[in-house]
Amino acid sequence: MSRKLWLPLGAVVLVVNAVQWVVAEAITAAAWTDPPYSYARNYISDLGVPGCGVQMQGRELCSPDHVLMSTSFLVEGILFAIGVLLLSARLVTGRARGVFIALAVAHGTGMVLVGLFHGSPDGPGYGLAVHFAGAGVGILCANTVAILAGALRGLGLPPAYRVFSVTVGVLGLVSVALVGVSVSTAGAFERGSVYSWLLWSVVTGALVLAGAGRGSRYSRRPSVVENVSA
């Protein structure tokens, strides 16, 4: 594959990845009818728990389409990692590229684990711990990618994008810190920590595609982010 295709392909992958997550979540949540699924109270992970009648922290879980959501977790981890790797290969140089790669791979690994180990006590004794660890790594790394993308400058995107990128990443990290504030808002804050990087993916992918389509410096220079010195 030509290196010239890496940038637009990475952008498309990020956009498609975010869309597949939101669609899979909406379909899975709609199939959950007894008891009704709550976007504010229920965790996203609840949608991937197999079986009905499982009790988890006071919530009764019943997700008929749990396979769809678990598959979406797996797909998200893989596609996000691929998208960031493709973009960083063309836009980032030096040690910054290594940081992007490490964060992308760590996020991808974490989300694959989330998809493989469901978030309920019904399963192997270590399963729930692996699920939570994977989710934590995935959330922290993806939001850090967004912050770093805005802080490094030089992506060739409007200054407003830099502010957006840092802001959305910070809000994502703040949201995950507030998940435990109340059981009635746990799901809402968890979504704040996840939708942050999904929104970042869509905006970044769309702007990169628009810039590449206009024949911007993306198509003329192999990398545009300055090296990060020690």
Give the CA radius of gyration of the chain. 18
For 82-111, b where at least 16 C-beta lie within 10 A, e where not — what string?
bbbbbbbbbbbbeebbebbbebbebbbbbb
DSSP letter at 46 equals: G
**Mean of pLDDT values over 112-127:** 86
What is the C-alpha separation between 193 and 180, in angstroms, rounded? 13
Query: Could you tell me if residue 223 is inside a domain?
Result: no
Please state the φ and ψ torsions of residue 225, each to the nearest 5 degrees: -100, 130
Residue 111 has pLDDT above 50, yes or no: yes
Residue 227 has pLDDT above 60, yes or no: no
What is the C-alpha separation between 148 and 151, in angstroms, rounded? 5
Query: Could you tell me if residue 228 is inside a domain?
Result: no
What is the C-alpha separation between 90 and 76, in angstroms, rounded? 21
Query: Could you tell me if residue 230 is inside a domain?
Result: no
- How confident is the model at residue 117, as a pLDDT? 94
**140 is in which domain, residue-wise?**
3-214
- How confident is the model at residue 222, as a pLDDT? 42
Please state the φ and ψ torsions of residue 201, each to the nearest 5 degrees: -60, -45
pLDDT tens for residues 4-53?
Answer: 788 899 999 999 999 999 999 999 999 998 888 999 999 999 999 998 88
Query: Could you tell me if residue 201 is inside a domain?
Result: yes
Query: Could you tell me if residue 169 is inside a domain?
Result: yes
Query: Could you tell me if residue 226 is inside a domain?
Result: no
**Residue 72 · residue 45 · CB < 8 Å:** no
pLDDT tens for residues 56-105?
Answer: 888 888 899 999 999 999 999 999 999 999 998 878 778 888 999 999 99
What is the C-alpha separation between 96 and 98, in angstroms, rounded? 5
Supply the pTM of this predicted model.
Answer: 0.88
Look at 51-60, 126-135, 147-156, 168-177 and tell me which has the smallest mean pLDDT.
147-156
Residue 228 has pLDDT above 50, yes or no: no
